[in-house]
Structure 1
């Protein structure tokens, strides 16, 4: 992941969606790669020893400046591989993403002692570990790629709905306090304020239906 990140001209993030160990340090990995510049996965991976492209697909996005792709690759990972460090401590990896040059990891452990062991392993082998947050929860959280949420969402939303959601998110509409109004979104999209508001409400309703199911 780190080598791929460095090869991209304008990387935004690389998320490890899933991984299966094969043998001799070789893994089958599913990655979601986001870049602010177009890239050719086959050409880039050819520059990284020990990797080969198995399959690539483009994830639809309303942003013209975002190249979002799902890649399935064969990769020989030298120890320590961040995923193997987590699994060896009997932890559940919920999310692993590389962005802004750093790995951000969400993982579930059985208890505090097991978490401490995982943190120590990461610190000792990778040289740095920062704890951003910790919480106690009876539910362990879903493992990597439990439902491929990104592809589900983009298949359920129209291009107009995707555009208004991305615009709202990028301009701070969902921040507290809000950094943009519905009028600001309408001006950015070049539509009437009522149209922008309607598309936003429809998109939000679609997202809620995916979570809770349709209303009776």
Structure 2
């Protein structure tokens, strides 16, 4: 993932959606790559030793200039590989994203001590570890494959809904605290503030309907 990031100009993030171990350090991997410029996966994959591209698909997005592509490839991962570490500690990998030179990893473990052992292993093998948050949950999250969820969302929402959500997210409207006000965001989109509010609510409702189903009340 880090080698791919180094070969793509203006890469935003690389998410490991799924992976299957083959043998001798080889994995079949599904990746979702987001960048602010278009790119050809075949160009950079051919330059990475031990990597073969099987399939690529462009995921539709809003018209804000972001390119998102989903790749399936065969990759040779030298030790230590972050997913391998997580699996050897019998933890569930919920999300693995490479962004700004760092891996953000969300995992589920049975007990706190299991997590401590995993954290120690990551720090020992990769050299650094920073705990962001810990939650106690009744049911574990789904293992990886959030990229397919994104694919479903982007094919179910309209172009207008994608544009409003993508622009709001890109400019920090959903950050806490907000990086941009509703007025500034409406000016960026060249629409009235009341129109912005209406479109945001419509897009957010569409997202919630995909998760919870239509509200019949």
Q: What range is the shorter-chain TM-score in?
A: over 0.9
Q: What are the superposed Cα offsets for residues 3-51 of structure 1, whole Å, 9 maximum, x if unpaired?
A: 1111112211100000011122111000001112221100100110000
1-structure distance, mates of 2:168, 2:10? 22
2-structure distance, mates of 1:172, 1:49? 37
1:173 alignment partner in structure 2: 173
171-180 or 32-41: bigger deviation: 171-180
The number of equivalent residue pairs is 216
1-structure distance, mates of 2:129, 2:197? 42
1:7 alignment partner in structure 2: 7
1:115 alignment partner in structure 2: 115
2:189 alignment partner in structure 1: 189
Give how far 1:183 is off: 3.6
2-structure distance, mates of 1:64, 1:201? 20
1:86 alignment partner in structure 2: 86
1-structure distance, mates of 2:38, 2:147? 26
2:30 alignment partner in structure 1: 30
Give how far 1:196 is off: 2.6
1:159 alignment partner in structure 2: 159
Give how far 1:173 is off: 2.6
Distance 1:100-1:76 versus aligned 2 partners, 3 A rule = same
1:143 alignment partner in structure 2: 143
The secondary structure found in structure 1 opposite 2:143 is: coil
1-structure distance, mates of 2:192, 2:131? 45
1-structure distance, mates of 2:94, 2:183? 37
Query: Structure 1 unaligned runs (5+)?
Result: none
1:59 alignment partner in structure 2: 59
Query: Structure 2 unaligned runs (5+)?
Result: none
C-alpha RMSD of the superposition: 1.6
TM value normalised by structure 2: 0.93
Q: What are the superposed Cα offsets for residues 103-134 of structure 1, whole Å, 9 maximum, x if unpaired?
A: 11000111111111111211121111111211
Give how far 1:152 is off: 1.2
